[in-house]
Amino acid sequence: MRHEHGKHDWSWWKAEIITKFSNNSWRFIIENAFESVIFSSEKDKSLTWFLKHKDRLSALHPDLSDSMINMKIFRKCGGELEHAIKCRCVEPCSTEEYIKAMEDIITRTRIRVSPNKHTCREEFVTDQLVEAQINPLLSSKIRYEIIDVLYTCKNAFASDNEPLGAIRRHEVDITLHIDQPYLLVLIIPAYQEGARAGEALEKNIQEMIQLCVLRNVGHNEEVEVTTPVIIAWSNDNSRMVGDFRALNTYTVPDRYPIPRLQETMTQLSKDKYVTSIDA
């Protein structure tokens, strides 16, 4: 444009830029370019890719907050990477923190994926199977086969870098005997906790928020049912437990057939191995 129009002051250039680019045709091109893009760790550089599309969305939607723009961009990263970034970053989070987390996750993933299968398998055994207890009476061949199955299906298990998150696009319906507005008995204040339990409770809540199992409730958001929680201790490890007794009193139970013990034992008698996995 400078070569075509020569020298002009900034106000003239600003008017020309608005005329050329702030039209429906330009918006259509930019929107299509963003909708069709998918991040590739092999081809794209995280910082350049992120800032490029952030500028696009900022130009298209100047009223959107940085947080909303970041969420739109991360939806173009694919399910696993998007989920890992959301687990790592807790709102409010700056653009720089998001990009740093994105680059760190991609780097760790590349380090973990090695062409040497045996090295990866050994790391998996030493890092993730430390607490696993395989029956010592089994032969070495059978133990190797069990570890091989676990290694093949390792993506089904949580780890420190890839924690287990919430199930997406699935909600549980709880039907009550009573209609809204609910009774005050369903609004129960929190139990009093000591300093140690309070710290553990805060830690458990923050972990669940990072995993998208829980979410923060807004100050003006109406809450019709509240459930107090307590901390249960086991070998200096804490676990948050919800007291749902009041809610259960007014809940319509789901009817499922109770398995017969004799049939269950008959089915188990045909199996060669029995596995116990703590979720």
Is the confidence at residue 266, as pLDDT, over 80? yes
Q: What is the mean pLDDT of residues 51-75?
A: 79
What pLDDT sits at residue 116? 45
Percent of the residues in the chain that have a pLDDT greater than 70, as a whole number: 77
Is the confidence at residue 166, as pLDDT, over 60? no
Give me the chain's average pLDDT, please: 76
Cis peptide before 92 (omega within 30 of 0): yes
Which residue is it, tokens 């790391």?
Answer: 123
More confidently predicted of 18 and 143: 143
Domain boundaries, the chain: 2-111, 115-156, 167-279
d(CA 14, CA 37): 29
Is the confidence at residue 113, as pLDDT, over 50? no
User: Model confidence over 219-262: pLDDT tens digits?
Assistant: 778 888 888 999 999 888 888 999 999 888 889 888 888 888 88
Q: Under CATH, domain 167-279 is a member of which superfamily?
A: HIV Type 1 Reverse Transcriptase, subunit A, domain 1 (3.10.10.10)
What pLDDT sits at residue 69? 83
What pLDDT sits at residue 241? 92
User: Model confidence over 183-221: pLDDT tens digits?
Assistant: 888 888 888 888 888 899 999 888 888 777 788 887 778
Q: Quote the pTM value.
A: 0.39
Q: What is the mean pLDDT of residues 92-118?
A: 66
For residue 87, give Cα distances in angstroms to 21, 180, 208, 269, 278. 38, 34, 9, 41, 21
